[in-house]
Chain A
Amino acid sequence: MCPHCQKAMVIFELEGIEVDHCLHCRGTWLDSGELDHLIELAEVNPGCFTDALHQAKKGSKKEICCPRCNRNLHSVHIHDDLELDECPRGHGIWFDQGEIRRLVESFKEGEEGAVASFMANLLKSELASETS
C-alpha cells in the first residue's frame, strides 16, 4: 500500500533486490531488509548509511504511515540537503518523488552511492523523463 495514495504498489526487482514503487505518486519504498541485501551485494563498508540514518536528526512526525506497521513515518535529514522518511521501528525508508533524484545527484561513493546507483539504474527511464 502506498502511504500517500493508499493504492497498491508494484514491486520491481532487479538483481534480487525488491523495491516497492507507487505508479500514481512515483514514490518509492525501500524495505530495510532489501537495504541490507543491497549493501551486501554492493560490497561496500556496511554501516555508514544505516548509521547516518540512526544519527541523523529526527525530524517531525509525518502524516504518512509505514506500509509495513502503519506507524507514522519520521522525517530524517541526511547530510543537510536530503530529507527522507523513515519508519520509527526500522522497517524501511520512503522516498517521495524527486528525492531519489536528489540522492543520486548528491552521492556517488560509499554506501549511499551504492543505494543511489542502484536506484538510478532501476528507475532510469523515469528519472530521465522527470528531468526533461
Chain B
Amino acid sequence: MLISIMALILMGLGAMCGGTFWGGAGAFLGALGALALWAVLLAATFLQGEQLVLLCSGGQKIEKEDCPRLYNVVEEMTIAAGLPKLPDIYVIEDAIPNAFAAGRNPKSAIVAVTTELLARLDRDELQGVIAHEVAHIKNLDVRFMTIASVMVGSIVMLSQTYVRLMFIGGKKRTCSKAGVHPAFMIAGIICALLAPIAARLLYFACSRKREFLADASAARFTRYPVGLASALEKISGRVLSSEKLNQALLPMYIVNPLQSMSAVGMFSTHPSTDERIKILRTMGGRAGLMDYENAFRKVKGKKSRCLGQRTLTSGESRGIQAREANDNPAESLGTLERFQEVTDLIGRMANLLMMQCSCGVKIKVPEEFDQDAIECPRCGTVNTLPRAKEKAQEEAPAPNLQQGVEQATVAGAAVAEAAFQTLRFERQGKGWESFRCSCDRVIQIAPSFRGEFIKCPRCKREVEVAEKVEEEVVTEEN
C-alpha cells in the first residue's frame, strides 16, 4: 500500500522531468525511465546486497564451533519460524550491543549480531533478539525494506538531478522552447523538492510498523515476550557512539543505536524502545499475535491496529501460553562465562594464536609476533609457542639412487614429498587451542573439533591433530 504511493511519487517525478524537457510525450517516457532507474538500482542491490551490507559493517561469518550458544539459538528460531534454511550467522566486533538481518529472501538471508550483544545478553534475551531478526526474514521485511529504501534512493537521485538541471540548463531551454509552460516548471521544482521528503516519511512509517510486527512474531516464536523486553532494556541502556555505525544501516538494527529514548518523531525508523518494552511486558503470560495486538492497544490507548487484520487471522494467533523463564543452569552462562566466550570468539575472528599458561592466564598471540617464547607476566613461566611438529620418519628411507636418467626426477619428487610431509600437533586439553603451521600461519582448533586432520588455510597442508596421550592417568589406575 505505502509502497505503491511511493512508486506513484517516483513515477510522477519522472513524468515531471520528462514533461519539462520534452513536452507531453516526454512525461510518459519520463515515468517509465524513473521506474527503469529504480529497477536497475534494485537489481544492483539484490545481486550483491548481503555482501555490501557486511562490507559496510565489517562482520565475519561464524560456524557452529565458534559460538555454539548463538548457533543453537538461531537454529531453534529457524525451526520455530519455519524458515527453509538456517540463515548464515555473522558476528561484528563492536562495543554496541545490536543485531540485524539482511538478505533478499529467506533462503539467502543472514543474521548478524555484535560481540557486545553476545556478551551482554543471557540465553532467553538472545533468543528474543534472534527471534525478532528471524521474524524480519520470515515476514520478508528485509526484501520489502530493500525495495522501499532503493525507491527512496532513486526518488532522491531523480529529484536532485532534476533540480540541478533546472538551475544549469533552465534558462537556455525556457528561452528557446516556448512550449513549456512556466507554471508547469515551477510545479516541477516544488514537486522535486517535496518528493524526497514525502518518500522518506513513507519509508519511515513502513519501517516502524514492521518493527512491531517483528516484535509480535518474536513473542510467538519464543513464547517468552519478557526475554525480548529485557534484551531491549539492556540494549537501550547502553547507547554509545560508534564510528563503525553506518547511517544507511540504521533501520536494519534491532534498536536504533543513535536514538535517544524519547525521540520518536515522524522520522524515526524504529518505534520508541520504551514503548516496545511496555507492550511486550503487558502481554501478561500470553504470547499470541492477538495478545500482542491487545497489549499494543492498552499501551497506546488507541483503537489503532498495529498488525492488520490479515496477519491476525492467518494462523494461530490466540491462546498461546507464554513459557516460564528458563532457569536450567546447564544452559545459562554467567556474566563471566559470557565474557570469556566472546573474547575467545574475537580471538578466533582475529586469527590469534591462543594458549593457556599454567597459572590460568590465557595468552593470545597475533600472527605477526616474531618471538618463539613468551614469559607469563603473572607467574613468570616461559611458554613456548606451539608449532606443528614434523612427524618423525618411521619408515626407512626408500631405496633411491637408481640409474642415471631417473635420478633427477626421483630427487625432485623427494623434495616435494618432504615439503608435504604430514605435520602433527598434539592437543593439550579440551578448550580452544592453536598452533603455528610450518608456513607460520596460525591454525585454531575449536573445543568441539573432533576431526583427525585440519587444513592450513594458507599453505593448504593437512595437519594431523592427535588427542593427548594421557599416560599419567593410566599409571594411576594401575
Contact = CB atoms under 8 A, between A and B. Distances in A.
Interface stretch (B103-111, B177-185, B355-363): B355-363
A23 interface: yes
A99 interface: no
B336 interface: yes
A32 interface: yes
A12 B377 contact: yes
Given A16-B343, A23-B374, A40-B335, A10 B363 contact: yes
Interface string A43-87: 000000000000000000000000001000000000000000000
In terms of DSSP, what is the predominant structure of the interface of chain A? mixed
Residue of B243, B339, B370, B376 contacting most chain A CB atoms (<10 Å): B339
Contacts, number: 83
Nearest to B350: A11
Interface in A92-132: 121-126, 129
B366 interface: yes
Q: Interface size bucket, A side?
A: 20 to 34
A45 to B, nearest CB: 17
Contacts of B340: 13, 15-16
B172 interface: no
Given A13-B343, A16-B336, A41-B336, A121 B378 contact: yes
A41 B369 CA distance: 30
B371 interface: yes
A11 B370 CA distance: 14
B301 interface: no
A8 B366 contact: yes
B384 to A, nearest CB: 13
A37 interface: yes
B368 interface: yes
Interface in B391-416: none
Nearest to B369: A8
Interface string A3-23: 000011111111111100101
Contacts of A33: 95, 116
A11 B347 contact: yes
B366 A23 contact: no
B361 to A, nearest CB: 5
| Most chain B beta-carbon neighbours within 10 Å: one of A10, A16, A32 | A16
B157 interface: no
Given A12-B362, A13-B343, A37-B339, A125 B368 contact: no
A11 B352 contact: yes
A8 B380 CA distance: 20
B375 interface: yes
Given A8-B366, A16-B340, A40-B335, A23 B375 contact: yes
Contact of A10 (B116, B336, B337, B364): B364
A70 B243 CA distance: 14
Nearest to B115: A33
Nearest to B340: A16
A122 B366 CA distance: 19
A12 B377 CA distance: 9
Interface in B222-252: 243
Given A8-B369, A33-B116, A37-B339, A14 B362 contact: yes
A125 B343 contact: no
A122 B335 contact: no
Complex A-B, nearest 4 residue pairs according to Cβ-Cβ distance, in ascending order: A16-B339, A125-B380, A11-B364, A13-B362
19 contacts: A8-B365, A8-B368, A8-B369, A10-B374, A11-B364, A12-B362, A13-B362, A14-B362, A16-B336, A16-B338, A16-B343, A41-B335, A41-B339, A122-B377, A124-B378, A125-B376, A125-B380, A126-B378, A129-B380
Interface of A: 7-18, 21, 23, 32-33, 37, 40-41, 69, 89, 121-126, 129
